[in-house]
Amino acid sequence: MLDDLSSQFLPSTVGGLAAGAIYALIALGYTMVYGVLRLINFAHSEIFMIGAFASLFVLITMGISAPLTGIALVGMLLLMMIVSMAAAGGAAVVLEQVAYKPLRKKGASRLAALISAIGASLFLQELFALIVIPEVFDTPGRNTVPVPRIADRDVLFSIGNANIRTDHVIVIVAALAMMIVLDQVVNRSRMGRGIRATAQDPEAAVLMGVNIDNVVRLTFLLGGAMAGVAGMLYAFEYENLIFNVGFILGVKAFTAAVLGGIGNIRGALVGGFALGLIENWGAIFLGSEWKDVTAFVVLVIVLMFRPTGILGESLQRARA
């Protein structure tokens, strides 16, 4: 076992960071919506799925069938990212308008919103399985859909026995860049002040001239856009998609949000990377088939012993 640890620790760490970056981006959507509405948006996993398939649609439309290099690769990644952000962000706004806003206007309970979220999640999964994937991607909707490789997996450098490949660097750097941008938008922009004011005291925010409906739409848009980036990076890294790809990843991202501190944007970053590392390190001892079990055990332990998460600070207390 010690031999396994010494030989697999560094490679597992690199893989864990790449997976954790994706978890963290998805977790941002959970944490932002919870911070503003005190709602767990369980349909957010399907927003991620929409972003992933949007990036695949770009590759198919552009006729990409071989790895790209240089400016062509950068341009294609940017195009995939923009389309995925637009598709996922737009879907998140539509989801809020259809599934949540009517309930908010009627003063419905959070349980009603939770049930609506679960229904919307199942609807989107079946919509893609029955209509979107067969019609757009010309393949049975419940089969795995391959994603063309657009970048060679070149080894850039090594740390011990861990090879740092091009795809690992792209995933981690892109995820960190998007999380930094979101953090700055929330903490330094006028839009961000509106989000924080609504999270802290909606009634006072209204009296100060904040349009709550606009803030909620913006929150869903930003969270959806981050999920879209996560979907694009997932398709790029793992090169296959399926109609329910968001289910397990969504639960893991929710675990990451809770682990870091639900409602805390920086906590989503910490929780995502921590969860990615924990499940990969756990796989060294238990085997890769236990990865999902490890993630869910982490969720149970955090909820039992530290429900506020690692950082524990909510969006309500983010600095003005």
pLDDT at 320: 39
Total structural domains in the chain?
1
Find the CATH number of the domain harbouring 37. 1.10.3470
pLDDT at 319: 41
Q: Is 162 inside a domain boundary?
A: yes
Q: Is 95 inside a domain boundary?
A: yes
pLDDT at 176: 93
Q: What is the mean pLDDT of the chain?
A: 89
- Report, in angstroms and rounded to the nearest whole number, the Rg of the chain calculated over CA atoms: 19
The DSSP output letter for 66 is S
Q: Token digits for 142?
A: 């419940």
* Residue 61 domain boundaries: 2-148+155-314
Q: Is 319 inside a domain boundary?
A: no
Average pLDDT over residues 297-315: 80
Q: Judge whether residue 104 has pLDDT over 90.
A: no
Helical (H) or strand (E) element with 279: helix 265-286
Q: Is 126 inside a domain boundary?
A: yes
State the sign of the Cα–Cα–Cα–Cα dihedral 131, 90, 18, 271. negative
d(CA 234, CA 72): 20
Q: Is 75 inside a domain boundary?
A: yes
Average pLDDT over residues 64-82: 93
State the sign of the Cα–Cα–Cα–Cα dihedral 34, 37, 43, 44. negative
- For the stretch 133-174, pLDDT in tens is 999 998 999 999 999 999 999 888 888 888 899 999 999 999
Q: Is 227 inside a domain boundary?
A: yes
Q: Which long-range contacts (CB under 8 A, 24 or more apart) does 6-13 make?
A: 7/161, 8/284, 9/281, 9/284, 10/159, 10/160, 10/161, 10/162, 11/161, 11/162, 11/163, 12/280, 12/281, 12/283, 12/284, 13/162, 13/277, 13/280, 13/281
Q: Which of 19-33, 80-94, 194-208 has the lowest mean pLDDT?
A: 194-208
pLDDT at 17: 94
Q: Judge whether residue 8 has pLDDT over 60.
A: yes
Helices 245-260 and 291-305 pack at an angle, to 10 degrees, of 30
pLDDT at 48: 97
d(CA 134, CA 119): 22
The DSSP output letter for 288 is G
Q: What is the pTM of this model?
A: 0.91
Q: Is 104 inside a domain boundary?
A: yes
d(CA 178, CA 283): 28
- For the stretch 183-238, pLDDT in tens is 898 888 888 888 888 888 888 888 888 888 899 999 999 999 999 999 999 999 99
Q: Is 281 inside a domain boundary?
A: yes
pLDDT at 314: 58
